Structure 1
Amino acid sequence: MDREQAKELVVKTFEGPFNENKFINFISNLLKRYDREKVLKPRIGIQGITERFLDFISSWERIGRYEDADKKIIDILIVKLKRGTSLYRARLAQRNFVASYLQGKLGTTSEKDAALVAFVDSDENDWRFSFVKMEYRFEKTPSGKVKVKEEFTPAKRWSFLVGPYEKSHTAQSRFVPILEDDNWRPNLSDLERAFDVEVVTKEFFEEYRTLFISTKLELDKIVINNKKVKEEFETKRINTVDFAKKLLGQIVFLYFLQKKGWFGVP
């Protein structure tokens, strides 16, 4: 798959309402191959979901299982949320639901290392593509003994909010390199890095810093070469540093409003 095809696949999968066939196609290209015999049909009700999560989850299913080169088990799940339970609410419950599944307390008795999960809102427009991983750390007990304690990655940190009202630029930057390499079967660490939005945040601020510096330098040139602008800046005690900060801040705010669709334009 070439780069443009990979980008198109991400756009078709993540910039529209949830579509199970498109999601499965994306997973197939991302992982290259996985065990489709490990399908679990949709589970509903108190026996399939347990009373603890009935207020938040309407159904869940497993579309397959992936085993990486290090023998790590990663299951692929689709979790449908109940009407009135938005993706912005009950994130802790959603994460704990998958945590119970990974521990073998829900659906199956076997433990898994991680899960790729599509959390889908009731109208299927808003959905979240998440990565939940089981982690361990050593903890000393009051008696001095060392025991292993299970931990789970926070759902917020390891998720992409997708759907027709969201753009997929970040998802493209994280998944296209894996998709375009037909021989790259990602291991658990690769998937973790792909979902690590801290890397994206760092890149954003580095680029923002570069833009701020270039904006400030251009403003310096204008102030030096334009007498009226220079007088205006001096009279109102404006400096190019503060002006550049305010200008870029306003642009980012307008972008946020446009991204939310509050301007009535795409």
Structure 2
Amino acid sequence: MELKHKLEKIFNNDYPGTDRFIADVIVPIFGNEIEYINDDLAGRENYAEKAKNAGIRHIKYIGDLTEKNYNADNIALLDVTLDDSKNIERSRVNIQQLIRSIMDYRQHLMIVFHYEDVTNKQWRFSYAYKGDSLKDTTSAKRYTYVFGRGYRGRTAAERFQILADSPRNNENFEEAFSVAALSDEFFDKYRAYYAAFVEYITGERYSDERELNNQLSKFNWLQKDSNNQFTAVFESKAKEARDYIKKMFGRIVFLYFLQRKGWLYDNNGVGDSQYMKHLFEKAERDGIAETFLDDVLELLFFYVLNTKKEQRVETALADNKDIKILPGWAHIDYLNGGLFNPDEIDPKKCTFPAIYFKELF
């Protein structure tokens, strides 16, 4: 597990540079026997135009991992430098075309993408594989992780640890980086947290599935509701309680999407990639963490995201709410998609222990 924790720290920071990435990420998993090539593919005639279209300055072909270190097909290491003026999201299609052309001659690619100036910039690791059963590079499989300050590197570190502990055959690479495996893992944990919130309100576990119980058994912070909210708020209707919590979780997940995009702001109008974490920490300092849902989250849901900017203060004051406790309330955009429209039950008071949100975040 020491490797996993070390990798998580690396992934949660600026790109450390090619040499450090090899020494701290590649060598601990594959050993230090690398056939170095150090060729800039961006200067080659067959790649130059695609690189320019993708906003890529350099494609450093670091080298190949030797077969002594693994049991899979040949693995090439690439370090890609992007122009600081380009947006990697907008260049995705052109980058994919370039990677496909490089994979014409290779089966495994491990690629790091970073900007020229790496300070406080996101960077990415992609693993691409074209097995013998795949007819061409258009069907090659590619998995990508986003790293940098404010980005959680825990999941990626876990996947690298899984790979390090395996025989490193072709199938082990796909098992480690598979999107399906990650999705299943996320869903199992997501459902366990949902079940914990439901059980707090209803007093009952809504499912006896073994995997769910295994996940919940790891939660040593579970509590019982002493306020009898199940009767007072939900009129002892289990489905209504589950739907309420499900809607709350859906809203929170969408907020994580917004903060990842940089669309939740601090008071200076700067995008905060850890807005939700910082919001909860502020609630703790302000002494309202125990009423976080009613006093903080619902302010954000209904009086910011569901209200036009010029109407927010007036609308909040009419309901005796202080919208100014929310960082960036004047900068966050109004959304009209319906997710943050208040339901009939939302005005009712419903509280969860602060530890529940702390563990969820």
Taking structure 1 as the reference length, what is the TM-score of the superposition? 0.75
Which residue number corresponds to residue 172 of structure 1?
A: 157
Report the secondary structure of 2:181's partner residue: helix
- Match of residue 11 from structure 1: 8
Counterpart code for 2:22: I
**In 2, Cα distance between the equivalents of 1:192 and 1:75?**
16
Identify which of 17, 20, 36 aligns with 2:18.
Answer: 20
Give 1:48 shift: 7.5
Paired with 1:52 and 1:224, the residues of 2 have a C-alpha distance of 59
Q: 1:211-231 CA distances to partner (integer Å, 9 max, x unpaired)? A: 323322331239998567624
Aligned-pair CA distance for 1:171: 0.8
Unmatched runs of 5 consecutive residues or more in structure 2: 205-223, 261-272, 282-361
1:251–1:50 Cα change, 3 Å: closer
Q: Distance in 2 between matches of 1:101 and 1:242?
A: 48
**Separation in 1 of the partners of 2:233 and 2:132?**
60
Residues 1:202 and 2:202 aligned together: no
Alignment-derived partner of residue 94 in structure 2: 93
Report the residue type matching 1:55 in the other structure. N
- Counterpart pick for 1:113 among 91, 107, 118: 107
Amino acid at match of 2:7: V
Q: What residue is the counterpart of 1:108 in the other structure?
A: none
**Number of equivalent positions:** 241
Change in Cα spacing, 1:240 to 1:77, as seen in structure 2 (3 Å) is same
State the Cα RMSD in Å. Answer: 3.4
Q: 1:92 and 1:67, CA in 2 relative to 1: closer, same or farther beyond 3 A?
A: farther
Counterpart Cα distance in 2 of 1:71 and 1:216? 45
Partner of 2:196: 214
CA contact (8 A) 1:60 1:79 kept: yes
How far residue 8 of structure 1 moved from its aligned partner, in angstroms, is: 3.3
Distance in 1 of aligned mates of 2:147 and 2:178? 16
SS at match of 2:189: helix
CA separation of 1:236 and 1:20: change in aligned 2, threshold 3 A: same
The structure-2 alpha-carbon separation of the partners of 1:149 and 1:7, relative to structure 1 and needing over 3 Å to count, comes to closer
Are the equivalent residues in 2 in contact too, given 1:117–1:129 (CA < 8 A)? yes
Q: Deviations over 1:101-124 (max 9, x none)?
A: 221xxxxxxx22111000112322
> Superposition pairs for residues 93-242 of structure 1, below 5 Å?
93-103=94-104, 111-124=105-118, 125-135=121-131, 148-155=135-142, 158-179=143-164, 181=165, 186-221=168-203, 230-234=231-235, 239-242=240-243
- Kept after mapping to 2: 8 A contact 1:15/1:163: yes
Farther off after superposition, 7-16 or 123-132: 7-16
1:136 CA displacement:
5.2
| CA positional deviation for 1:75 | 0.3
* Aligned partner of residue 151 in structure 1, secondary structure: helix
Contact 1:83 1:122 in 2 (8 A): yes
Go from structure 1 to structure 2 and tell me whether the alpha carbon gap of 1:218 and 1:228 turns closer, same or farther (over 3 Å shift): closer
2:114 and 2:229 mapped to 1: Cα distance? 56
SS of equivalent to 2:234: helix
Deviation at 1:240, TM superposition (A): 1.3
1:20 shift after superposition: 1.6
Contact 1:45 1:58 in 2 (8 A): no
Task: Write the distance in 2 (CA, Å) between the matches of 1:228 and 1:15.
Answer: 39
Structure 1 residue identity aligned to 2:138: E
Aligned to 1:243: 244
Summarize the Cα distance change of 1:195–1:244 in structure 2 as closer, same or farther, 3 Å threshold: same
Which residue of structure 1 aligns with residue 51 of structure 2? 53
User: Which structure exhibits the higher relative contact order, with contacts defined as CA atoms closer than 8 Å and separated by 6 or more residues?
Assistant: 1
Which ranges of structure 1 fall in alignment gaps of 5 or more residues?
104-110, 139-147
How big is the shift at 1:199? 0.9
CA distance in 1, matches of 2:276, 2:243: 27
Query: Is 2:31 aligned against 1:32?
Result: yes
The alignment's TM-score, normalised by the length of structure 2, stands at 0.57
Give the aligned residue type for 1:29.
P
Aligned residue number for residue 142 of structure 1:
none
- CA separation of 1:221 and 1:264: change in aligned 2, threshold 3 A: closer
One-letter identity of the residue aligned with 2:112: A
